[in-house]
Amino acid sequence: MKNLAILILIIFFFSNVYSQPAYKEKYRPQFHFTPAKNWMNDPNGLVYHNGEYHLFYQHNPFGNRWGHMSWGHAVSNNLMHWKHLPVAISEKDSVAIFSGSAVIDKTNTTGFAKNATDVPMVAIYTAHIIADSTKPDNYRQEQHIAYSLDNGRTFTKYSGNPVLDIGKKDFRDPKVFWHEPTKKWIMLVVLAQEHIIKFYSSPDLKKWTHTSDFGPAGDYSEIWECSDLLEVSVENEPGNKKWVLINSQQYGMQYFVGEFDGNKFVSKNPANKIYRPDYGPDYYAGITYNNLPDGHPPILIGWINNWKYANDIPTDPWKSAMAFPRMLSLEKRNNEWILLSNPFKTTPPLVQDAYMWELQVKVKDKQEVSVNSQTIAVEIEWEVQKNTTAGIRLAVNGQRGFVIGYDARSQKLFIDRSNASDTNFHKGFNEWSKYEASLVPKKGRISLQILYDKSIVEVFANNGEVNITAQIFPDEKNNGIEVFSKGGTTKFTQLTVSTLKSVW
Ligand code: FRU
């Protein structure tokens, strides 16, 4: 009897953690998505349907480290307030559910709809198959599908799986979308070791025909994973769109801009340069939403972590966050296409309180800002001075702080988290502390939008042409803000700090 009471208490405790997470733990982001508990990596199956943005994700339902890969699930109607749902597709019989995408089969090309009112949501994922559990490295990867007739709440694995198997070991992360001009489904799958994205097309998501290959190209110093292809609008050129191909290379991401005719992607950017949607340590496996309503900007969501130390970050009972959803557009500059990503403007606003500096504040050395918070949005702009490094420090407490700066001499935007937090949880973390990216001032100015949320910093520079995302793990009392200018005096032309409410 006593044992039964204890069991009921234990079950009650765990079910409660799942359904009503407190979200009050140290380091817990307040306006970014994190799973209620346990491990999360890549976003999967981003699809909009019936007024809901679905966020599926790589998830270990049983622990706070990578393993037992299944698709976790949450929905939102504004990409900001999320509702956790039960695991959507589970690992079974040593077949793990790796990354993939989801589509809405409006015309029932699959035949999965049973009634006239059914609209199948179809998940296309990599089945990671380990025949002998004592030899986890002896795996193979095939592409499988599963369908849902109840808005993604329950999925049935297709009995005809695999829908694509080429007998390769590292062949994964299918991205599928509907290509209206050729009236076909398109699938991209990476050959991770070969640095190749393979393109396929299909009339029904079941029979796939190989159409072309892309790569190696750009950065192929590490294995390739998680590719995506989408059309993005060019700013200030109504009606003009280009195709953007993105992929991940183990510790970072890159993009290509060009043309796609339904069979083959051709890059139009200079081949000798690497373009990244984010230059920080913690932005990975980003993919975009399928089936967004007409006129909705494309939305990219990345995983905020890095495989170098992902399993060891000091958060509990969850691990990893998703980046704030980013809207994408393109800018043509001389002979290059630049991808701009900016935080998606959602409603209702999260702002609790806004602090604004008077305009044209001149700073020499440093100046404190009278806001103390670890959940803020910052807009800051300054005039770049010769030989001067200027910027802002967050999570400040004496010498401690996270630095975001611009060095006028090297024309680089940089972050430095080496003195931002305790890094003992991983012996290598400190080595990956300084990140930078080239950036030319616009009309002589640098302007930044920053989202700082407990253990996450996302920086968007000059209308999102350079972004840097990084994790930090500061004490709660490290919550000051400071503006600085070294080597000269800097005129700051804007500073707005908004403290943000929790979405949980
Ligand atoms: C990327 C990745 C994918 C794979 C998944 C497994 O982070 O390695 O290639 O499908 O994670 O969880």
Q: Which residues contact 261 (CB under 8 A, 6 or more apart)?
A: 182
Q: Residue range 48-69: average pLDDT?
A: 98
CA distance 188 to 288: 13
**With contact defined as beta carbons under 8 Å apart, do 55 and 42 qualify?**
no
**CA 172 – ligand 1 centroid, Å:** 8
Q: Is 422 a catalytic residue?
A: no
Strand partners, 448: 380, 461
Ligand 1 pocket mutation pick from 38, 40, 41 by most atoms within 8 angstroms of CB: 41
CA distance 132 to 371: 56
Look at the domain 31-343 and name its fold. Tachylectin-2; Chain A (2.115.10)
pLDDT band at 459 (very low <50, low <70, confident <90, very high): very high
Strand partners, 502: none
Degrees, nearest 5: CA angle 41-282-427: 95
CA distance 445 to 142: 49
pLDDT band at 422 (very low <50, low <70, confident <90, very high): confident
**CA 187 – ligand 1 centroid, Å:** 17
**CA 95 – ligand 1 centroid, Å:** 14
Determine if the peptide bond prior to 216 is cis (ω within 30°).
yes
Per-residue pLDDT, 10: 46
CA distance 390 to 379: 15
Q: Where are the domains of the chain?
A: 31-343, 351-500
Give counts: helices (H), strands (E), the chain. 1, 33
Compute the mean pLDDT over every residue in the chain, rounded to the nearest whole number. 94
Ligand 1 pocket mutation pick from 44, 60, 91, 172 by most atoms within 8 angstroms of CB: 172
Strand partners, 147: 122, 156
Which is the CATH superfamily of the domain at 351-500? Exo-inulinase; domain 1 (2.60.120.560)
Q: Residue range 431-451: average pLDDT?
A: 97
Q: How far is CA 393 from CA 82, 344, 405, 491, in A?
A: 30, 24, 8, 16
Q: Residue range 322-342: average pLDDT?
A: 96
Per-residue pLDDT, 17: 42
- 20, pLDDT greater than 80: no
Q: Residue range 470-498: average pLDDT?
A: 97
Per-residue pLDDT, 354: 79
Q: Is 183 helix (H, G, I), strand (E, B) or coil?
A: coil
The number of the ligand 1 atom at minimal distance from the alpha carbon of 226 is: 9
Per-residue pLDDT of 189-242, as tens digits, reads: 999 999 999 999 999 999 999 999 999 999 999 999 999 999 999 999 999 999
Per-residue pLDDT of 279-299, as tens digits, reads: 999 999 999 999 999 999 999
- 479, pLDDT greater than 90: yes
- Of 396, 392, 385, 429, which Cα lies nearest the Cα of 414? 392
Q: Residue range 30-34: average pLDDT?
A: 96
CA distance 458 to 352: 19
The number of the ligand 1 atom at minimal distance from the alpha carbon of 284 is: 7
CA distance 197 to 187: 10
**CA 93 – ligand 1 centroid, Å:** 19
pTM, 2 dp: 0.95
The number of the ligand 1 atom at minimal distance from the alpha carbon of 190 is: 9
Query: Using a 6 Å cutoff on CB, does residue 226 contact ligand 1?
Result: yes
CA distance 354 to 499: 6
Strand order across the beta sheet in which 95-104 lies: 95-104, 121-130, 139-148, 156-157
Query: Using a 6 Å cutoff on CB, does residue 40 contact ligand 1?
Result: no
CA 361 remoteness from chain centre: 35
